[in-house]
Amino acid sequence: MSRNLAWTDAQDTQIRRRRGEGANWEAIAADLALTLWAVTERGRRIGASRPPAEFVPAGEDPQREPLPAGHPTSWDAITAGTVLEGEAYPLPFFRR
């Protein structure tokens, strides 16, 4: 007897993102702490598939150095859609 999982938007997003990054079903199942069968079946239902082999994300240089803390690119991505959106880094309460 199988139980029905109540899939969340966050889980679906993670499955799509990880498949888009090229992760295999086993790795995604381990990340979500679910069975391989459940994750594979859900991924197929939501259309999560690997990108073509020749796919390279636009604007990404895998050899670049990490961005420093508070860099506008990373800070804006982290704060987008939150109450911190538009706030400058560092926030006053981060200072000592």
* Residue, of 64 and 47, whose pLDDT is higher: 47
Give yes or no for residue 2 having a pLDDT over 50.
Answer: no
Segment 8-34 shows an average pLDDT of: 92
Mean pLDDT of the chain: 84
pTM of the entire structure? 0.54
Asked whether the predicted pLDDT for residue 58 surpasses 70, the reply is: no
Are the C-beta atoms of 46 and 9 separated by less than 8 Å?
no
Q: Is the pLDDT of residue 72 over 70?
A: yes
Q: Do the beta carbons of residue 51 and residue 20 sit within 8 Å?
A: yes
CB atoms within 10 A of CB 15: 25
| pLDDT band of 1, cuts 50, 70, 90 | very low
